Amino acid sequence: MQQKLNKNIYRGILILSFIAINILIIYGVSSVLAYLKTGADRANMLHIDVKSETVYSPEINWISLDNPGREISKQELKSIEDHYLKSWYIKNIAFKNNSPYGIEDFYTDSARVHIFNTLKLNKKQKISIEATTISHSPKLEFYSEDGKLAVLTDKNVVEFQKVFQNNKLVLSTTDTSSYKVILLLEDGFWRIRHKVKIENEPEKDTLKTTQINQIRDSEILVEGKPFTIKGINYYPKETPWDMFGENFDLEIIEKDFKLIKNSGLNSIRIFIQYEDFGKEKVPPAKLEKLKEVLNTAENTGLKVVVTLFDFYGDYSVLNWTLTHRHASQIVSTFKNHKAILAWDLKNEPDLDFESRDKKTVLAWLSQMIKEIKKFDPNHLVTIGWSSPEAAIHLLDEVDFVSYHYYKSIDNFENDFKILKEQSLNKPIVLQEFGLSSYTGIWNLYSSSETKQAEYHKEMQAIFKKESLAFMSWGLYDFKEVPTSVAGRLPWRNTKQKYFGFMNENGDKKPSFLYITN
């Protein structure tokens, strides 16, 4: 009797389990179908989660949609564009990791063969490739009647590559290539069926002559008149390195700008932090604050050097397009603003040479110069190098040379003479200099407000003799300096607080007498 009861229990458990499993299967299938009917991206349902929206965003401009086939809808064009760009991104990831992961989602069987063979060879030779494309200009050549085949050409695609062997960089190269591409629509994906290189089109120079600011010989011209920069690096006293944050106060900035103008200066340098300004998606609120600052500077009669990419230090090839989108939103917005004197691409990028690879940093800067000039042909471009020795880089690409100097004043004139001989007769701006007035144990009691004043008096005499443009560091002493700026070591952080011409209470120090010449 007991044995029969146990059999019935087991039978009941099996039947209930079978019913439960079938219910779960039916529920799962219906959920998938419902998900896809909502228009969800099929990539999210497969093994490859393509995150190109946040890590890869090249500029794309369709040249033409006219073709012998049928007219294409905006929705389908967007789908082709999205999958085409993802095919580039997935291939770049594959060559970086020597893994075919995701290739089958964006390339047909026949197109995968070459990629797989290349991956196999690279893996055998311990070669990896980091690559990205900067921009695409596709033209739709044909779109089939059944909507399952598209042919496009993509002219003058700029590609940057870093080739590594045994984890050592062996080659960095920038290349421009054009392609003819055939795409097939298969189970919801536009896959590359065929992609071959074709002849490049002659590039047209679309840059206009600088309208607002220009360079003539070794002079900077503003609206056609010679302009010698006499300026200062600026942060508000209470919000250093956070000028555009929650405590943004335009009234304080207006008062400071009037003080700067009345002191005899004509320019300021301000800083745009990459992450604070939203990386590849710049918040409109940040642009509005920057607009208010630039308008205030214009109304006060001050010119502005805007330093971009402050606290940016990645330079990863796959992230290049994100930095381009960041720059395009800021620079395009203010390309006609008369307060801007120049775009300063990056503060002291040479300090990243060792940790981020010198060739990669220089390649990023070189490409960014091209991007900035494309977005804004009206203003000048410079780079704020940390020393006169570093300022010889990219001389033929910047409009004027900017460098910083915190070494002994005894060597200044000789170092300036050497740089001047190497500068290709371009204007030179001493973009940062100064002396901390901190006197205490962390400075070995070696400075004072009096010594700071003597330093600036001597520097201004040199500037006057050499007709050298300058921007001192900075207007105020600060109560606190972020560790991200000067580190945690007290002998560095403490000194950084006392470079100002005015103390933390807003009172003028003796050096204020020599803020200009």
Task: Domain 55-198: give its CATH architecture.
Answer: Roll (3.10)
Q: What is the pLDDT of residues 237-293, one digit of tens each?
A: 999 999 999 999 999 999 999 999 999 999 999 999 999 999 999 999 999 999 999
167-212 pLDDT, tens per residue? 999 998 889 999 999 999 999 999 999 999 999 988 765 544 556 8
pLDDT tens across 395-454, in order? 999 999 999 999 999 999 999 999 999 999 999 999 999 999 999 888 777 899 999 999
Distances in whole angstroms, Cα of residue 359 to Cα of each of 295, 344, 368, 401: 38, 20, 14, 20
Average pLDDT of every residue of the chain = 90
The reported pLDDT for the residue numbered 52 is 44
- Comparing CA positions, the residue from 346, 406, 404 lying closest to residue 372 is 346
- The predicted pLDDT at position 448 comes to 96
**3 state SS of 215:** strand
pLDDT at 180: 98
Q: How far is CA 133 from CA 156, 178, 179, 317, 474, in A?
A: 11, 12, 13, 9, 39
Residue ranges, comma separated, of all CATH 3.10.450.240 domains in the chain are 55-198
CATH 3.20.20.80 location in the chain: 213-514
Residues 317-376: tens digit of each pLDDT: 989 999 999 999 999 999 999 999 999 999 999 999 999 999 999 999 999 999 999 999
Fold (CATH) for 213-514: TIM Barrel (3.20.20)
88 vs 50: CA distance, rounded Å: 11
Give the Cα separation of 91 and 129 in Å (integer).
10
* 49 has pLDDT over 70: no
What distance in Å separates the CA atoms of residue 59 and residue 51, rounded to the nearest whole number?
17
Please give the Cα distance from 422 to 436 (Å, whole number). 30
Band of residue 487 on the pLDDT scale cut at 50, 70, 90: confident
- Nearest CA to 474 out of 436, 427, 429 is that of 436
Identify whether the C-beta of residue 429 lies closer than 8 Å to the C-beta of residue 213. no
* This prediction's pTM: 0.87
